[in-house]
Structure 1
Amino acid sequence: MKVAVIFNKRKNTEGEGVINVFGAQNQETYNPATVERVAAALEQGGHNVRVIDGNIHVIEQLQDFMPRVMQGDQPGMVFNMAYGIQGVSRYTHIPSLLEMLGIPYVGSSPAGHGIALDKVTTKVMIQAAGLPTAPYWVFHNADQIQGDIPFPVITKPKMEAVSLGIQVIHDMNSLRTAITGLVVQFKQPVLVEQFIPGREFAVGLLGNHNPEVLPIVEIDLEGDAFGIQSLEDKLRKPKNKICPAQIDDKLANELRRLTRETFKVLGIFDFCRVDFRMDEDGNLYILELNSMASLGMTGTYVCAAKAAGYTYESLINRMLDVAVERYFGKEFDDAALNREEETTITRKDPLRVRLRSFLRSNIGTMEDYLEKMVDINSFVENIDGVNLLGRWISSQLSGSGFDRQVFSMSEVGNVLYFTNHAGEANDVLIVGNLDNPVDYEDYISFSEERGRIYGTGVSRGKGGIAVLLGALKALRYTRTVKRVKIGLLFITDDSKGGSSSRTIMQELSAKSNYVLGLNGAGLSGEIITASLGSTCFNIEVNRTRSKVRNQFFSDEDDPVLYCAHKINQLKKLNSEENSVFVTLTGMETRGNEDQPVYHAALSFILRYQNPEQSKKLDVQIMRIFESKPHGSVRVNVTKGAQRKPFLSNNSTLQFYDQIEKIAKVVEVRINKEETGITSLLANVAPGVPAVDGLGPRTGGYGSKDEYIVRDSMIDRSVLLAYLIYKIGRQFG
């Protein structure tokens, strides 16, 4: 199951992650180490996990990650650890958003969280249900304080948690000072409760219809009946916990009963913790219910769960299961396990789990790799830059058991070939490109924004190389890479149609069982099983007359109007049915200040499905731009880079079927693309099963705004790594 763990990162600046600063700012956040521990626990449970910051971009990130249930995908879940960023009832913000989006989640509803966070509403509902709680008062300012309040009392901001602002007060002057200070600091009313000297207990609950009450925890106040657990205690030196609490069965049963009743009265789901004080006469008082009980290792909830026999991993996965059962019924999880695609490999496949866990924790490293590659100018004409990128990749592979072979080229950078074995044949040949067609004057530097990574080449090869490096490191970490005979080919003339590396690719692919291309996928995760061929055309049009008879434009002697007429003819070649497309890529003109244009240059790309089409279209292009013997313009047609179409075959389609099964196991969304714009694999030997698009999901391909989806590097690396592993086992 796909599980998004949502939490709130600590903000470096006020207003980060929101449109405007509004209301009280949240001071309650999870330690990132705890979030990582929860994510790792879910991965050990066999789930596909992504950690998401619960800020302004959360919808976009969920939309990118979550399954499409209406399209037949297995539902996903959110494990909600987000306390909210700002404002009133901040616990409710993410649950409300999730309900609007239609995404199920672990934890209470917006209503339950809103009631539990509001200490006054909680007291009102507890009292109305006849449950015991201490007498209380609510003040908006110190002037409202009555003179008959019995001391000692304890102060609490109305809408805060984790002991923020709590103080034990013993006299009226101190109470006035405390209320004035708390109202100014938290900008909300203050709850004042009669303080109950005595012992303190915490009771955790897990489940819904017949929830499990965890072993009772007593907070060790070291014999101090007036002791409390302050925020400083929780952060710096948490008080010791006695679990199970040393109490008799009668008291234990009453604590369990009151916990269940409070859970029910406040409308809480899945899990919570209820805090109690007990006076010297044995009377119990409900202090509050925490609907977001801390999952930190020193927290009382985790302490109680361990006493109940849970490991941290089993606790977190049980919390998820409880929510799944609430939404879908108890049978859902077992039914999901028996899906046809998962009969041979269960959800808890150890390799799949280890690969994803390793790659998710190393996404920062892959991002660093990509930034380094983007910083290298590998424009196809910059041979030194292309070779520099090749040397950098060689350095990354040098310690991974790969040997290098260099094919020296005269007009482009050196082609590199790596293998991790001494034989001639490869189980799999993986192909990437070092060059890109973007000159340095149009270079876009590396940047990240809203979960997207921008930069020259990120979608044209460098993103795919980052995915490959991540996959190889994950396979090495799991000690499975040596079981597969891998060949890695990095060409340097992809921008020129692969003409210089054609023979090398044909020979190496003919010796490989399968071929994979590292081109970026589309935003829907397209795997390319076939792609169009293309030919670049450059048309130059010159006026032949030495003098212009008229100071106005005419079709007879104006190159611009000539080109406009021919563009209309080119447009008629477009045919979606036959997969023929003409793309205008540029137009330039020259002229004197007071004279009509005397020169025009037109460039376009013609894309086609097969070689036969290419021949017929060439004839049509030449006919369109044929010069008249005595015309007033002279036309010159030049062919530029030409790329063969990447043709599908039965073995490729069967190969894709295997990839599709693997994608379902590792929960990576893919689609088959049979008319891709371009592919690295046009020169693969005929009949060899080959697919392209194993790089990250991309947008803006072919433009200055090209980008990859950052987190897709994890998914595509998992897919690539698992695919390499299965190829080595012949899909067994």
Structure 2
Amino acid sequence: MKRVLLLYGGRSSEHEVSCLSARSVLAAIDRSRYEVVPVGITREGRWTLTDGDIRTAAGRPLPEVADAGPTVALVGSKDGARLVQVEEDGESARVLGGVDVAFPVLHGPWGEDGTVQGMLATVGVPYVGADVTASSIGIDKGAMKAAFAARGLPQGPYATVHRRRWDADADAVAAGLEDRLPYPWFVKPARQGSSIGIGRVSGRDHLEAALVEAYRYDDVAIVEQGFAAPRELEVGVLGNEALEVTPPGEIRPSHEFYDFEAKYLDESELVVPADVPDEVAVRIDHLAREAYRAIGCRGMARVDFFLTADGRLLVNEINTIPGFTPNSMFPRLWDAEGLAYPQLVDRLLDLALER
């Protein structure tokens, strides 16, 4: 029986979303094949052994890692990686056992950005999902868009705005953006997911507030040109060398755009499969594979697209650790293809061990 280290929570603002994803994975994973060791990472970065019962505390909208369990760490030894528990005296530790494979269900910085992947690689633990390089590119929207551009993928117009540039001369930055991009704009933190920190800007008067919100999460913001009523389409990708891609699903947001509340708290509609012409579905399949290879991805990803009113198909972004919540598109897309949640988890673990 393989021993799986499930990592969830984390220091990022997507902590609660990670807990939701982990709860779904824990419910689906085949306990006859895998011994699961659930380790929550608190908001402060402490690794703590949990019982895997991820609950939502009274008065809270979403679950989080409780800061009550024992501290654990993953260390390299002569016999391979070992999970150890730090005793309460802080002076001693005991070995809890080895780890065959890790499943980091972590979203955002300090989890999806290559940091945890590098640590796992350093101690020799295979892990689900993209490697260090692909993870770091995938989470950084500026680097990701540059990689897509280098591969010739179609994208919407955008610009990056560093906090120091904005602080030094806000008027010049605003004027430069207006020269390049017609309104409306969407302003996003460069290295953040789950639609956190996103603002819609319809004129210069709204720009400062949107950038201030984005800079709460990152020192770099991405300003993207918006489109009139685009269709938001997504596909799931699985594989290391040989790739499988689902038909597209469509998101119909319950809000003006697909923000955090529309994703996790309110009921947005997910249409699986999306009603698109065959030629659009074929084009999406091709572009998804190209986006996956553009960043050197492996294991899994979700690739997102815009289909504009005038028929343009644009690559929006790639997510190297897509959501695994009950409302997440990635598992629903694969379920529609006949790969149910438990089998999806099996495939991901097999792909990790294959590498």
> TM-score normalised by the shorter chain: which range applies?
0.7 to 0.9
In 2: Cα distance, 1:128 partner to 1:324 partner? 31
Residue of structure 2 aligned with 1:173, choices 205, 220, 223 = 205
In 2: Cα distance, 1:199 partner to 1:312 partner? 26
In 2: Cα distance, 1:313 partner to 1:211 partner? 20
In 2: Cα distance, 1:31 partner to 1:112 partner? 20
Q: Structure 1 or 2: larger helix share?
A: 1
Change (3 A) 1:123 1:33: closer
Contact persistence 2:24–2:325 (CA under 8 A): no
Residue of structure 2 aligned with 1:193, choices 224, 227, 246 = 224
**Which amino acid is the alignment partner of residue 160 of structure 1?**
Q
Residue of structure 2 aligned with 1:39, choices 26, 35, 48 = 26
Q: Secondary structure at the match of 1:8?
A: strand
Post-superposition Cα deviations, 1:671-729, rounded to whole Å, max 9, x if no partner, equal xxxxxxxxxxxxxxxxxxxxxxxxxxxxxxxxxxxxxxxxxxxxxxxxxxxxxxxxxxx
In 1: Cα distance, 2:242 partner to 2:97 partner? 30
Matched, 1:82 2:106: yes
Change (3 A) 1:181 1:165: closer
1:272-351 → structure 2 map (5 Å cutoff): 272-325=301-354, 327=355
Q: Secondary structure at the match of 1:174?
A: helix
Higher relative contact order (CA 8 A, sep 6+): 2
Matched, 1:51 2:66: no
Post-superposition Cα deviations, 1:641-669, rounded to whole Å, max 9, x if no partner, equal xxxxxxxxxxxxxxxxxxxxxxxxxxxxx
**Which amino acid is the alignment partner of residue 26 of structure 1?**
S
2:185 aligned partner = 153
**Which amino acid is the alignment partner of residue 4 of structure 1?**
V
Q: Secondary structure at the match of 1:252?
A: helix
TM-score, normalised to structure 1's length?
Answer: 0.39
Residue of structure 1 aligned with 2:239, choices 207, 229, 237 = 207
> Which of structures 1 and 2 has the bigger CA Rg?
1
1:601 aligned partner = none
Post-superposition Cα deviations, 1:556-576, rounded to whole Å, max 9, x if no partner, equal xxxxxxxxxxxxxxxxxxxxx
Q: Please report how far the alpha carbon of residue 212 of structure 1 lies from its aligned counterpart in structure 2 after TM superposition.
A: 1.1
Contact persistence 1:44–1:313 (CA under 8 A): no
In 2: Cα distance, 1:31 partner to 1:116 partner? 17
2:2 aligned partner = 2
Contact persistence 1:82–1:94 (CA under 8 A): no
Q: Please report how far the alpha carbon of residue 41 of structure 1 lies from its aligned counterpart in structure 2 after TM superposition.
A: 3.1
In 2: Cα distance, 1:217 partner to 1:243 partner? 5
Q: Please report how far the alpha carbon of residue 47 of structure 1 lies from its aligned counterpart in structure 2 after TM superposition.
A: 1.4
Post-superposition Cα deviations, 1:119-173, rounded to whole Å, max 9, x if no partner, equal 0000111111100111111112441221423111111101111111112211112
In 2: Cα distance, 1:41 partner to 1:257 partner? 30
1:62 aligned partner = 83
In 2: Cα distance, 1:204 partner to 1:26 partner? 24
Q: Please report how far the alpha carbon of residue 34 of structure 1 lies from its aligned counterpart in structure 2 after TM superposition.
A: 4.2
Contact persistence 2:129–2:299 (CA under 8 A): yes
Q: Secondary structure at the match of 2:292?
A: helix
Residue of structure 2 aligned with 1:263, choices 292, 295, 300 = 292
Q: Secondary structure at the match of 1:219?
A: strand
Change (3 A) 1:172 1:152: same
In 2: Cα distance, 1:27 partner to 1:84 partner? 7
Q: Structure 1 or 2: larger strand share?
A: 2
Post-superposition Cα deviations, 1:35-88, rounded to whole Å, max 9, x if no partner, equal 244234333451122112344533156254554xxxxxxx811112134775xx
In 2: Cα distance, 1:261 partner to 1:66 partner? 40
Q: Secondary structure at the match of 2:113?
A: helix
2:136 aligned partner = 114
Change (3 A) 1:243 1:318: same
Q: Please report how far the alpha carbon of residue 7 of structure 1 lies from its aligned counterpart in structure 2 after TM superposition.
A: 2.3
2:271 aligned partner = 242
Contact persistence 1:122–1:288 (CA under 8 A): yes
What RMSD over aligned residues (CA atoms) do the two structures have, in Å? 2.3
Q: Secondary structure at the match of 1:7?
A: strand
Q: Secondary structure at the match of 1:200?
A: strand
**Which amino acid is the alignment partner of residue 285 of structure 1?**
L
In 2: Cα distance, 1:321 partner to 1:9 partner? 23
Q: Please report how far the alpha carbon of residue 214 of structure 1 lies from its aligned counterpart in structure 2 after TM superposition.
A: 1.6
In 1: Cα distance, 2:205 partner to 2:19 partner? 41
In 2: Cα distance, 1:200 partner to 1:77 partner? 34
Q: Please report how far the alpha carbon of residue 240 of structure 1 lies from its aligned counterpart in structure 2 after TM superposition.
A: 0.6
Instruction: Structure 1 unaligned segments of length 5 or more: list them.
Output: 11-24, 68-74, 328-732
1:102 aligned partner = 124
1:28 aligned partner = 14
Instruction: Structure 2 unaligned segments of length 5 or more: list them.
Output: 48-71, 76-81, 85-94
Q: Please report how far the alpha carbon of residue 215 of structure 1 lies from its aligned counterpart in structure 2 after TM superposition.
A: 2.7
In 2: Cα distance, 1:85 partner to 1:210 partner? 28
1:416-495 → structure 2 map (5 Å cutoff): none
1:248-647 → structure 2 map (5 Å cutoff): 248-325=277-354, 327=355
Contact persistence 2:109–2:191 (CA under 8 A): no
Q: Secondary structure at the match of 1:263?
A: helix
Change (3 A) 1:281 1:45: farther
Identical positions, percent: 27
1:124 aligned partner = 146
**Which amino acid is the alignment partner of residue 299 of structure 1?**
S
In 1: Cα distance, 2:100 partner to 2:221 partner? 40
Contact persistence 1:41–1:317 (CA under 8 A): no
Change (3 A) 1:216 1:168: same
Contact persistence 2:247–2:281 (CA under 8 A): no
